[in-house]
Amino acid sequence: LLGAGCKKEEDFSEWYQNVITRSEMIDYYDISGCYILRPWAYSIWEQIQAFFDAEIKKLDVQNAYFPLLVSEKALTTEKDHIEGFAPEVAWVTKSGDSQLADPVAIRPTSETIMYPAYANWIRSHRDLPLKLNQWVNVVRWEFKRPVPFLRSREFLWQEGHTAFANKEEADEEVFTILDLYRRVYEELLCVPVVKGVKSEKEKFAGGLYTTTIEGFIPTNGRGIQAATSHALGQNFSKMFNIEFENDKGTKSLAWQNSWGLTTRTIGVMVMVHGDDKGLVLPPRISPIQAVVIPLHFKDSDTTAVDSKAKEIADQLKAAGIRVNLDNRPNYNPGHKYNHWELKGVPIRIEIGPKDVASGTVICCRRDTAEKSKVEISNIVTGVKELLDNIQSNLFDRAVKQRNDHIVTINQWNEFVPALDNKNLVLAPWCEKVSCEDSIKKKSSEESKNKAEEEKGFCLTGAAKSLCIPLQNQEHVKLPEIKDDTKCFCCQEKATKYTLFGRSY
Ligand SMILES: O=C1CCCN[C@@H]1CCCn1cnc2cc(F)c(F)cc2c1=O
Ligand SMILES: [Mg+2]
């Protein structure tokens, strides 16, 4: 089990590593930065996939599969798109014991793999819009300390790559996808996110603008990029010659988007909801939503209890609830309680001889540990209501905790103290790249554990802009920029309230 001395608030990374391994989500592997996704994690990814895949299919996106390997020539089609990323590219240089004359790279992302084909397929405006997606793995040889789910050298994701005849259609899709990403986090994972646009410094250099959803890890007060939806403009269609004859008979370059969501989703959910007993899984994605545990007492009628337990489990299953009847004879109830709490199962249903006699069971919910009596005759409705209640309670709790840790400031001397209090910071900002560089530099210098950071023992103390939040989004209140509002850092005229934070 989680074991003593492993408290989330005391040693977060130790707690996280224990929770994901002992709940049987992750196992380690002999290549650094690579992890085994065990069924308890993989089935959560499948739930996320099922939701997102169904939603993009409503948008007429089609799934395809492009090769894993990309030639150096293709990968470096556009020098400056790749140069910053070159150190992360993994190369195949041998087959057997002979060197490859031309090494090939393993996809770190698939623009350079897909877009030469797009150029061939897109000739006329009738070939647009082209909307493809693929559910694949990618490899990036990250150097920062790996963290399972959050930062690994191989991860699973979907990458959507779309092409349109005009900017308006492309712009609309960027934000439509961004809201689907928000729904994955808020409706499935009960994790609140802030929707926004990345600054010039933080955006995808190859694109026109980047939109993002930003999560928050309360335990260390860090932001985390949760998913991203880029408007590429015509930058890539220029690079890859994706041009089409438009409806006026002249040539135009396609307007493109690309968007991605990864298995980082699972790590963020674990960190936000987990506690010192283990995982706390949102019912919507939990592989098992209710576990039925028959309680045997000496000289009591165990067969009645066992058959009633089985009956309840079958009824719940028939109603579409993911249920497990834990009638393992070799474990006592206490051990089973710990086991399913560690695995984060939302509801435990206890049934003993007295319960059979009274026609009721005890339901214990994982999010609050509250117990309630439910009529066996009403078990399906009762359990469904409880699951819905848990789903919304987890989200409401996370929203409150996140909003309690967004601090609005107006001047520099409030900034680092706010970060040190594990907050994200909303501040009026001038949006200048030079100013963002100095924010990063000054916040790093004013952070304590510079030495630790150099040794790679901890995350950086530098703060960066996370996003410029979109207006009018639920759960995110934005102050007004006035004519005389000054940038919190350089005192120039502020143009946008921007979310800053230390981050992963
Ligand atoms: O972020 C997304 C969403 C899904 C499709 N791709 C975009 C942009 C990816 C930006 N990016 C991110 N990381 C990279 C790492 C590399 F090693 C490399 F060669 C290229 C890249 C790289 O282009
Ligand atoms: Mg990266």
Q: What is the DSSP letter of 281?
A: -
Query: How far apart are the C-alpha atoms of 269 and 417, rounded to whole Å?
Result: 27
State the amino acid at position 410 in one-letter form.
N
- Among residues 33, 32, 36, which one has the least CA distance to residue 24? 36
CA of 378 from ligand 2 middle (Å) equals: 50
Query: CA 26, 182, 17 angle in degrees (round to 5)?
Result: 20
Q: Judge whether residue 3 has pLDDT over 70.
A: no
Phi first, then psi: what are they for 394, rounded to 5°?
A: -60, -40
pLDDT band at 83 (very low <50, low <70, confident <90, very high): confident
| Contact present, 444 and 461 (Cβ < 8 Å) | yes
CA of 204 from ligand 1 middle (Å) equals: 8
CA of 140 from ligand 2 middle (Å) equals: 7
Task: Name which residue sits closest to atom 11 of ligand 1, judged by CA.
Answer: 109
CA of 108 from ligand 2 middle (Å) equals: 9
Closest ligand 1 atom, CA of 89?
17
Task: Name which residue sits closest to atom 23 of ligand 1, judged by CA.
Answer: 109
CA of 8 from ligand 2 middle (Å) equals: 27
Phi first, then psi: what are they for 51, rounded to 5°?
A: -65, -55
Q: Judge whether residue 52 has pLDDT over 80.
A: yes
pLDDT, average across residues 460-483 = 95
Q: What is the pLDDT of residues 231-271, one digit of tens each?
A: 999 999 999 999 999 999 999 999 999 999 999 999 999 99
- Among residues 15, 5, 4, 13, which one has the least CA distance to residue 275? 15
In this structure, how many other beta carbons lie within 10 angstroms of the beta carbon of residue 355?
22
The pLDDT, as a whole number, for residue 45 is 99
Q: Which ligand has the shortest distance to the CA of 138?
A: 1
- How far is Cα of residue 163 from the mean position of the Cα atoms in its chain? 25
The pLDDT, as a whole number, for residue 427 is 98
Q: What is the pLDDT of residues 100-149, one digit of tens each?
A: 999 999 999 999 999 999 999 999 999 999 999 999 999 999 999 999 99
Tokens 């090769």 locate to: 67
Residue to substitute in 78, 104, 109, 263 for testing ligand 1 pocket (most ligand atoms within 8 angstroms of CB): 109
Q: What is the pLDDT of residues 387-426, one digit of tens each?
A: 999 999 999 999 999 999 999 999 999 999 999 999 999 9
Query: How far apart are the C-alpha atoms of 316 and 82, rounded to whole Å?
Result: 52
Average pLDDT, the chain: 96
Closest ligand 1 atom, CA of 140?
17
pLDDT, average across residues 93-100 = 97
The angle that helices 264-273 and 379-403 make with each other, rounded to 10 degrees, is 90
Query: How far apart are the C-alpha atoms of 484 and 497, rounded to whole Å?
Result: 13
> Which range, of 2-16, 66-80, 428-442, averages the lowest pLDDT?
2-16
Task: Name which residue sits closest to atom 22 of ligand 1, judged by CA.
Answer: 109
Q: What is the pLDDT of residues 275-332, one digit of tens each?
A: 999 999 999 999 999 999 999 998 888 999 999 999 999 999 999 999 999 999 999 9
CA of 432 from ligand 1 middle (Å) equals: 24
Tokens 């395809």 locate to: 64
Report in angstroms the alpha-carbon separations of 271 from 22, 48, 185, 241: 15, 17, 13, 43
3-state SS track over 190-204:
CCCCEEEECCCCCCC
Closest ligand 1 atom, CA of 161?
5
Lining ligand 1 with CB less than 6 A are 82, 85, 88-89, 108-109, 140, 159, 204, 228, 230, 258-260
Q: Which ligand has the shortest distance to the CA of 141?
A: 1
Q: Judge whether residue 456 has pLDDT over 80.
A: no
